[in-house]
A and B are shown apart, each in its own frame.
Chain A
C-alpha cells in the first residue's frame, strides 16, 4: 500500500493519509558496553528502506503510542562477496546482501528501555552433555552378546 503508490501533494490539498501502512520495523540489539552502547532512553530499529525519519516517528507515536523525541537514520550497504577480493581491477561480484536502514530512536529522559534476556538456557551445552552421557555408557556388551547371530545386538533377546 504505502510503499507502492506515491501521491503528490499541492498546497490546498488535504493531508496525505495512509490508512493501511505496510512498513515494517524490527527492534535490534545493541552492545551493553563500548562506543556503540545506547543510552537507556534510546532504541535501535531496522526499518524498511523506504521509510523516512518522519515516517518512523509517526509510526511509533500513532501505532505504538511511544513518546518519540528524535529519530536518526543510518543506511548500511549490504556486504558483497567477490570472486577475487584483493584484485580490485578485475574482481567480479558474486553475491550482495540487501542494503539495510537503521533508525536510532530517542525517547524523553525519563524513558527506560532494556532489551530483555531472551536466551537463558544454552541448548548447545545441553546437547553436549547429552552426547557425553551417551558416550559414558558402557556399550561393551552390545558387541559380544549374540555375536554369533549376524549383528542382531542387544535388542532381540538371547
Chain B
C-alpha cells in the first residue's frame, strides 16, 4: 500500500507525490494545468477546459472540489421511484441507465480521492440514491421484459433456479446455467439428490441437533434473565455497594 505521508499539510519532502497535490497546492490559488496553458489552440475543445480534460466526465463540478458539504444548489434530489420510471419509454429508460452509470462512476472516483486523504466525502447519500434509482429502473425493465416473454413464449424472464445439494448435505438454490451439451452426454448433473450418503446424512443429523441445543440454551438464558429483570433483588447480589457517599448511591 502506498504511503500518503506527503498528502499532509506540510510541503512534501519526499519525491513521491500525486498529480493532484503538488507543492504549491497549500499556498495561493492553484490553477489547473489545462487552464494555465498559454498557447490557445483553436483545435482544443471545450472539454479540455474542464478539470480532467477529456476524462472530465469522471469528475464532479469544479465548485464541489475539496468541500466537506455541497452547497444547496449542488445538493442531490431523491432517487427515481418505480412509479415515475414506469411512465418513461424504453428509450428514455435506456438513456437514463447510462446517465446513472456515469454518475455512479464519477461519485466513486471522487469518493476514492477523498478516502485516501482521510477526508469526509461530501453528501455520500448520492451514491445510495443512484444505486436505488438503478435498482428501480432494473425492476421496471424486468417487469416489461417479463410481460413480453410470457405473452410470446410462456416462460418468465427471471432466470430459472435449481435446488442443489452440497457435499455436506445442505440444499441451496442456484441459478440455472447454460451448457453446451446435455447432461446425458456429459454425465454431470448438480440437482437435488434425495438420498444422502453416510457422511452427509450424519452431518445433517448433527447439525439439526446442534441448532436445537443452541436455541434451547438461548431460551434458557433468556428465561433466567427474565426472572430477575423486574425484581428488586439487585441489592442482594454479591459485590453490592457497602459505602454510600452520595444520594445516588443509596439502594433504590
Contacts from A to B (Cβ < 8 Å):
1, 4-8, 10, 19-22, 24-34, 43, 46, 63-64, 66, 79, 111-125, 128
Contacts and interface: CB of A to CB of B under 8 A. Distances in A.
A119 B9 CA distance: 11
A26 B57 contact: no
Given A20-B141, A113-B52, A125 B26 contact: yes
Interface string B21-46: 11001100110111000000000000
B166 interface: no
A34 B55 contact: no
Given A28-B112, A32-B18, A123-B119, A5 B54 contact: no
23 contacts: A1-B138, A10-B180, A24-B101, A26-B105, A26-B108, A29-B116, A30-B18, A31-B16, A31-B17, A33-B15, A64-B57, A66-B55, A111-B54, A114-B33, A116-B34, A116-B65, A117-B32, A118-B59, A119-B66, A119-B117, A120-B25, A123-B68, A123-B119
B55 A117 contact: no
Nearest to B64: A118
**Most chain B CB within a 10 A radius of its CB, from A116, A117, A128:** A116
B108 A32 contact: no
A64 B30 CA distance: 28
A32 B101 contact: no
Given A63-B102, A64-B55, A64-B57, 12 more contacts: A8-B180, A20-B137, A22-B101, A22-B134, A29-B113, A30-B18, A114-B53, A116-B51, A117-B51, A119-B25, A119-B119, A128-B9
Nearest to A62: B98
**Most chain B CB within a 10 A radius of its CB, from A20, A21, A46:** A20
Contacts of A1: 138
Given A66-B54, A116-B32, A116-B59, A46 B177 contact: no
A20 B113 CA distance: 27
